[in-house]
Structure 1
Amino acid sequence: MNAKSARLRRLPVIGAVAASAVLLLAGPASAHVSVQPGTAEKGGYSTIAFKVPNEKDNASTVKLEVTLDPKHPLASVMPQPVPGWEVKVEKAKLDKPLQMHGKTIDEAVSKITWTGGKIDPGQFQQFPLSVGQLPTDADELVFKALQTYSDDDVVRWIDPSKPGGAEAEHPAPTLKLVAKGAAAGKGDDHDDKTNGKGADGKTESASGTSDDKDGGSDTTARVLGVVGIVVGAAGVAFGLIAGRRRSAA
């Protein structure tokens, strides 16, 4: 086998390695069920939305179950209709009744289930809720979400945050509660409106831009990684070719 033939045989191998690395780095990042905006004011009312991305390539999301934080019951929880989806609201008796506008509330929403629609591969859907009055004695509300796929697989987004800020494998959607004026998005003043067109999943609300920025940063890092792999593979190929030429000479 002459030097030229050996060189030609090695180039496809190098190309395959580089292509595999590119595909690996360019693959979609794992997306989580999250609550947006991520912060709300203590003691106020807010419109939030559960953002549900479909992570599977061969199955659709057909059901979402959200259990509210039992440690901090909310007197008012109202789902906004989502086209194509049916919503079921479940309530539970409270050990300690709540006071709201001069009335005693002895039960509160404990679980909300959306069914009947589907989120296809490569898409996401938002499920809005108007909630309040948010607690003043807590720094966060933790929701537990179950995402059911058309292949009967159930992903349980229920893991609590890890010490030190490390992300859990299936983190529970968490709404951070902050002092008045510090929230990323404004409360709805007990208004049942949502920001933008989040109900049908076609338009992000302005308050959800932080998630998009995080995604943009991740994409940028991945692109730079891909460029580095390609440049490195090209350098290896050039080195092999140059070496073979010197050997042949």
Structure 2
Amino acid sequence: MTTIGVLAALGVLAAAGPAAAHVEVSADKNRAGATDVTLTFHGEAENPSGIKSERVVLPEGITPADVTLVKAPAGWTFQATADGFTVGGKALASGKDAEWKVKIAKLPDGETRLSFKTLETYADGEVSRWIEIQEQGKEESDNPAPLIELKPGPSTAPATTSAAPSQAAPPASASAAPVAPTATTPILAEPISDEGSSLWWLWALIALVVAGAGLSVASRRRSSPPAE
């Protein structure tokens, strides 16, 4: 009975082994929108042949150009991919976990849960797929993707102002009040009355009469004989 019990226990542990192995990630700054954030990944060795590479798919809001390598196992190199990056090289010793660090230029604003799907490849070709998104409030899945939970960042929405709309100057109209004369505004002369211009013929007649009378007097003087 004892032998059977021990074997059964070992069988349970063997069955639980693959599910217990994970790839995990942590951040040195745990706030959304933070800049220059170092992420530390830890991949647990599940296959005795040794881990050969780790391929990470970045969450939305982080691009491969935002990521730089900080540290990786000796002999491993960093390579950006279309949707993330890969670190890898010579297979690690059997049972040795993989640990690597990268720097993210900026975490997405408004995101508080970031999942990093990871494919862990071993020297014998086996691939452990840690790609299942963990949903908040639900039990962890069998192959959960590495997850970091962040505190909300400061609001980046621009402040709104309720400035009163500017009032345009009213259009000029014919009924606008007259402008008072100023030092630079010329004052028009008084309008000429039509009464004076309507009597020009009378003045002209008087002038002709006076001229005629003068000519008559002069003529009489020339025609009169001189006194003796």
TM-score (norm 1): 0.52
For the residues of structure 1 that align with 2:45 and 2:144, how far apart are their CA atoms? 16
For the residues of structure 2 that align with 1:38 and 1:21, how far apart are their CA atoms? 42
Describe the superposition over 1:206-225 as per-residue Cα deviations: whole angstroms up to 9, x where unpaired: xxxxxxxxxxxxxxxxxxxx
1:36 is aligned to 2:26: yes
2:43 corresponds to which of 39, 52, 58:
52
Aligned residue for 2:97?
124
Q: 1:17 aligns to what SS in structure 2?
A: helix
Pairwise CA RMSD of aligned residues?
2.7
- CA change 1:61–1:172 in 2 (3 A) is same
Identical amino acids, percent of aligned pairs? 27
1:66-105 alignment runs, 5 A limit: 66-69=56-59, 71-74=60-63, 76-82=66-72, 83-90=74-81
Structure 1 portions without partners, runs of 5+: 1-13, 93-109, 181-249
1:113 is aligned to 2:86: yes
Larger radius of gyration: 2
**May I ask how many residue pairs the two structures share in their alignment?**
148
C-alpha contact (below 8 Å) 2:132/2:143 kept by paired residues: yes
- The structural deviation recorded for 1:87 is 1.1
1:64 corresponds to which of 45, 54, 64:
54
- The structural deviation recorded for 1:55 is 0.4
C-alpha contact (below 8 Å) 2:51/2:98 kept by paired residues: no
1:144 corresponds to which of 117, 135, 143:
117
C-alpha contact (below 8 Å) 2:110/2:152 kept by paired residues: no
For the residues of structure 1 that align with 2:107 and 2:135, how far apart are their CA atoms? 24
For the residues of structure 2 that align with 1:35 and 1:140, how far apart are their CA atoms? 12
- The structural deviation recorded for 1:122 is 2.1
Q: Which runs of 4+ in 1 moved over 3 A?
A: 24-29
TM-score (norm 2): 0.57
Structure 1: which amino acid aligns with 2:38? T
2:142 corresponds to which of 164, 169, 172:
169
- CA change 1:162–1:138 in 2 (3 A) is closer
